[in-house]
Amino acid sequence: MGSPENRVASDSADTTSKNDSEDDDDNGVQNPPSHPCPFSEGEKVLAFHSFVIYEAKVLKTEYQLKEWRCYVHYLGWSKTWDEWVGLDRLLKFTEENVQKQQELNEKRGTDKKASRASHIKPKNVVKGKKRKNDASKEKGAMNVEKLVSIQIPVKLKKQLVDDSEFVTHLGKLVKLPRTPNVDDIMKKYLEYRLKKDATKDESIGEIVKGLICYFDKALPVMLLYKSERQQYEELMINDVSPSSIYGAEHLLRLFVRLPELLSQANIEEETLMELQQKLVDLLKFLRKNQNAFFLSSYHVPENMETSTNNADD
């Protein structure tokens, strides 16, 4: 499925995933846009979200990191679904594009009533019913992985790039076991969310458990660089789980792969949209606690230090 290095590099180059302005480049002054935004405030548009195209309204536009993005409201939905999207997820509201919307949504097994009902929150955001038809495999369908959009804050993207630099170019590793580990971080996040909204106990708890499960299964398969595998094999004894050993550095790598994993999970649209929103919230939590959760430097493995000393003798 490709090395995490390639996926991280790809993610760091994907500047269409932007988070709130608090995570923007600290340099402050930006060059003026070279072209006007093709969408205007108040304009009715068609917006890609999950596996469907929905009617939406542009509430505001913003030029950031040399690209335009729009803050949209999905018509007929609660404003809690309002979000920033890149221009690649928007279409002009024209007769041709409306026809495209209808054809695509028919392929996805949805109708207008079903798409408008997506603002109704399911009782359990993780245990959603799987769709009967795997429409994601149809020819001509839009890129599913691209539509499962998880916006990684800019400063966490830099964290990913630094992580790759430490491991692949400098030959360093994260010192394990980590404190806090993934289990600790998820527990802190759960406590944080419940303080804000105690009514979401079940849904947040299910998401936390689901992510830990994803992490434990994905880490040995797709979240390790080649130079980290020996360290993994030495630590994974006595049936311990990766989430009790690894920390925020490897958890963040999971978010790079989640669009791919979720696109294969066959989750219904309403559930997927709810899940995406919670994942973005978790990323914001990681960003706010970046100094406490992430290492600022990695260590040189003992075997590398030994080989270096022998070479110097």
**Separation CA 311–CA 313 (nearest Å):** 6
- Third-level CATH fold of 18-147: SH3 type barrels. (2.30.30)
Mean pLDDT of the chain: 76
Average pLDDT of the segment spanning 67-85: 86
pLDDT number for residue 260: 79
pLDDT number for residue 118: 37
Average pLDDT of the segment spanning 4-22: 44
Whole-structure pTM over 0.75, yes or no? no
Check pLDDT > 60 for residue 132.
no
pLDDT number for residue 67: 86
Identity of residue 252:
L
Among the ranges given (70-74, 180-184, 306-310), the one the predictor scored with the smallest mean pLDDT:
306-310
Check pLDDT > 60 for residue 2.
no
Average pLDDT of the segment spanning 227-251: 93
Residue (of 257, 217, 249, 225) closest to 10 by Cα position: 257
Among the ranges given (107-111, 130-134, 240-244), the one the predictor scored with the smallest mean pLDDT:
130-134
Is the preceding omega at residue 177 within 30 degrees of 0, hence cis?
yes
pLDDT number for residue 3: 52
pLDDT tens digits, one per residue of 90-107:
999 999 999 888 877 665
Residue (of 33, 98, 41) closest to 73 by Cα position: 41
CATH number of 154-312: 1.10.274.30
Segments making up each domain of the chain, as ranges: 18-147, 154-312
* Coil, strand or helix at 47: strand
Residue (of 2, 5, 1) closest to 164 by Cα position: 5
pLDDT number for residue 270: 75
Q: List, in order, residues 6 or more apart from 290 with CB less than 8 Å away.
A: 155, 156, 159
pLDDT tens digits, one per residue of 142-200:
444 445 678 899 999 999 999 999 999 999 999 999 999 999 999 999 999 988 876 65
pLDDT number for residue 313: 46
pLDDT number for residue 266: 66
pLDDT tens digits, one per residue of 249-278:
999 999 998 887 887 776 777 777 788 888
pLDDT number for residue 183: 96
Among the ranges given (19-28, 257-266, 284-293), the one the predictor scored with the smallest mean pLDDT:
19-28
